[in-house]
Structure 1
């Protein structure tokens, strides 16, 4: 049975406790004699503070709240008014401890997300207690400390070997030398976490069942080298100052998203990546999202026309800012990915957010030129056979944008829609001029149409592109 309206249940129970409404004997029996599993279901839908109040409903309800398996301490439980007051922080942590001390049953999931509580709080005993309770899902979501990036999390965390889900925020994670691994962990999410430099190479090898890895604004690792685990399916990274990217022993990895600053902006030496071997390690890849910095890193090394091993499973490709000024090398990476993905279905290209990044009057080297290695639509006909949708965000009006669309129109027989979101600084006349140029391009699809949308994704107009 699923509780579909937890707020309604909360209001009913709250009225019964606080207002002490007069009930008939029948109503009392209905509440008192509910099956234990229904009582647990109701309690699980209530904030921990309100769940404790249900002990006064009847004798049968008195101790049920102590057996809740999912404990959530968030703003419904308490909130720090003075984050800098050590005494206030300690009082709050003490209240969490007191709630745990009267808890009798197993704890399968624990969430700590109290506004104002940072990792500087003394949570060592709390984490140690949870580690010994056989907890399977743990979320420690601290607020970012304004005085530091985050305090070190208690080493007791690494004794919670039963964990299958771990989510950390605003803290520092140091792996102790005695750590043997989270052999049951399937989900790992890290946000604003300081990590050791070799985290992705060493830690992940000790998580053989990991399937979902997500990091956001983590610092520390300079090498994004993911080695295993073999069951990994999802990788989402938002990281700083990464020097290299590689994936090894990831046969099931189907979704990769990387938003990163690839190298130190103070140096002119851009590290290189073996794009061929990296992509060869991704046979199950279905969705790939890359920022411009990733393209820049991949373009620093040799870029083939296409990979020796095709990305047969890749269906969704999302590329950021590949029309940024002189970015022809980055476009080569994009075209290599397109050529190497015979089943590509959806392509999204994100342009720069500011118009002055690109001189819209300047005509860049067109994609049809044989001298630069780009494919000639008249000579190539094996690309984009399943491509159905193209999205161009923050369109600037450059020649290279038009040339890329010309290539796609000439090679995508199943293309049904091109969705264009113009840059907000681009004039209406420039948009109409671009539309006319696109309509003059060779088009092999009988169903293709171009759709203009505004910044709110509201359709401005659409035009059918007649097949040549």
Structure 2
């Protein structure tokens, strides 16, 4: 081979370490995408890689990390396992040279790490290191009380806590940059705020949410609000939800107070995604003003309804929501089969009569394209489906999920009856999914 050919080969990069010569920000991104264990192991690749991982700004001690770590241990003794985990995690934190901008920690149910002093030092170290994203999932049997110094993490932008206690001190630096907060099974003991920049708030199975009342005053910036099974909800909060675009609301018991649907609609002019459960629908009062009002939910495109029963008030509110949403494109309805099978014949008759008497001229979802009904299909559901098929000119697909029909003759009869409607035969595709 001539010398020119050899030079050409060399210029093409054959035999060179291209990965090591990548820009620093690209190498950081590669390390960030790797599981933490693999990122640390890159130190054995070469001298050039020996100290690259110590500049990691993202630490993920997630469930995969613990599964791999515990699988390598020969002992099953809990104290020995905890001691080894504490040693490894502490060693990683001590070795890092730069700031830790993202920290994710999973506490397994059989390893109560939060009860040990080393864990307290981890949180303190993270709090002082300018962390921006913090996610703490506690699967242990006891909740972890967040230490007071945590409430001074002024640079925090994203927070997720699971099975924790928030007991803020009377005086703290406060949060001023939080954008997104998700709390799961968290207890809030006293009044607190996540700052004025908050735009996304998720609350699931939490206690003490009344202490977050400051977030529901005028000039708040919340665009996504999800309150799922958190006890009593203060309806007055929804007097200040003009910026909300996504709303998810579910109760764990019937509300003691009711909310006027007409007023609720007025307070959410920008909403485009709505998720409600059956108990919420029961607590909404549908007045004549709503039934006759001009459409106001001009931006609402997706509606998902969960745990519906054969209840007249629920059905009235469902149809009302559809009627006042002219740009609705997707509708999902999940039926509570447990309560649905025990419905009184008189209530079922009332619901059927209401659906049969509904005037189609007042019920025209012009842009509705997809409908999904999850659960048993009986006479009430069939009547509801007929109404949608007959009054939705843009309907393209109707999915019947888990219809709980074992009798093929009954399924065939229902399908044949549905296909009688022009929308079903012309454009709508009816799909049975078990």
2:218 aligned with 1:234: no
Q: Is the 8 A contact 1:244 1:297 kept in 2?
A: no
Instruction: Describe the shift of the 1:84–1:408 C-alpha distance in structure 2 as closer, same or farther (beyond 3 A).
Output: farther
Structure 1 counterpart of 2:370: 389
For residue 97 of structure 1, the aligned residue among 90, 93, 97 is: 90
Shift of 1:163: 0.7
Alignment correspondent of 1:70: 58
Structure 1 residues 101 and 90: alpha-carbon distance in aligned structure 2, compared to 1, 3 A threshold: same
Within 5 A, what are the aligned runs for 1:157-176?
157-176=150-169
Corresponding residue to 2:359 among 372, 376, 397 = 376
Quote the offset at 1:391 in angstroms: 1.9
Give the corresponding residue for 1:136. Answer: 132
The CA distance in 2 between the partners of 1:120 and 1:260, in whole Å, is: 33
1:108-165 Cα deviation digits (max 9, x unpaired): 11111253444444433222211111111111122231xx3x1211222211110111
Cα separation, partners in 2 of 1:289 and 1:249, compared to 1, 3 Å: same
What's the TM-score once normalised by structure 2's chain length? 0.80
Deviations 1:194-248 (A, max 9, x none): 23476xxx52xx4222222223332333699661673322223322433544424
Aligned pair partner of 1:250 in 232, 237, 241:
241
Distance 1:449 1:90, change over 3 A: same
Q: Is the 8 A contact 2:376 2:405 kept in 1?
A: no
Partner of 1:273: 259
Q: Which residue of 2 aligns with 1:452?
A: 431
Q: 1:376 to 1:42 in 2, by over 3 A?
A: closer
Aligned to 2:201: 213
Q: Following superposition of structure 1 onto structure 2, how do residues 9-408 of structure 1 map, counting pairs within 5 Å?
A: 35-74=23-62, 75-76=64-65, 78-79=69-70, 88-89=81-82, 92-115=85-108, 116-118=110-112, 119-122=114-117, 123-145=119-141, 148=142, 150-196=143-189, 202-203=192-193, 206-221=194-209, 227=216, 230-245=220-235, 246-263=237-254, 270-299=256-285, 304-305=290-291, 310-322=296-308, 324-325=309-310, 327-354=311-338, 356-358=341-343, 364-365=349-350, 375-377=358-360, 380-381=361-362, 383-398=364-379, 400-408=380-388
Q: Secondary structure, in 3 states, of the residue corresponding to 1:390?
A: strand
- CA distance, structure 2, for counterparts of residue 83 and residue 344 of structure 1: 55
- Distance in 1 (CA, whole Å) between partners of 2:280 and 2:76 is 38
Q: Which runs of 5+ in 1 are unaligned?
A: 1-25, 264-268, 456-468
Q: Give the Cα–Cα distance (whole angstroms) in 2 for the partners of residues 169 and 79 of structure 1.
A: 22
Higher helix share: 2
**Distance in 2 of aligned mates of 1:125 and 1:33:** 37
Residue 275 and residue 178 in structure 1: after superposition, are their counterparts in 2 closer, same or farther (change >3 A)? farther
User: CA 1:30 to 1:308, structure 2 compared with 1: closer, same or farther past 3 Å?
Assistant: closer
Structure 1 vs Structure 2 CA RMSD: 3.6
SS across alignment from 2:326: coil
State the distance in 2 between where 1:306 and 1:350 align: 27
Structure 1 residue 70: Cα displacement: 1.0
Give the distance between the partners of 2:220 and 2:41, measured in 1 at CA. Answer: 47
Structure 1 residue 361 displacement after superposition? 11
Contact 1:397 1:430 in 2 (8 A): no
- Could you tell me whether the CA contact under 8 Å between 1:413 and 1:445 is conserved in 2? no
Could you tell me how far apart the structure 1 residues matched to 2:195 and 2:292 are? Answer: 33
Tell me the residue number matched to 1:430. 410
TM-score by length of 1: 0.75
- Provide, for residues 27-49 of structure 1, a one-character-per-residue CA deviation record: whole Å limited to 9, x for no partner: 58667655544443443344434
Distance 1:359 1:286 in 2: 35
8 A contact 1:397–1:434 mirrored in 2: no
Query: 1:67, 1:103 within 8 Å by CA — same for their partners in 2?
Result: yes
Distance across 2 between alignment mates of 1:224 and 1:426: 48
CA deviation map 1:176-202 (0-9, x unaligned): 22245322111212222223476xxx5
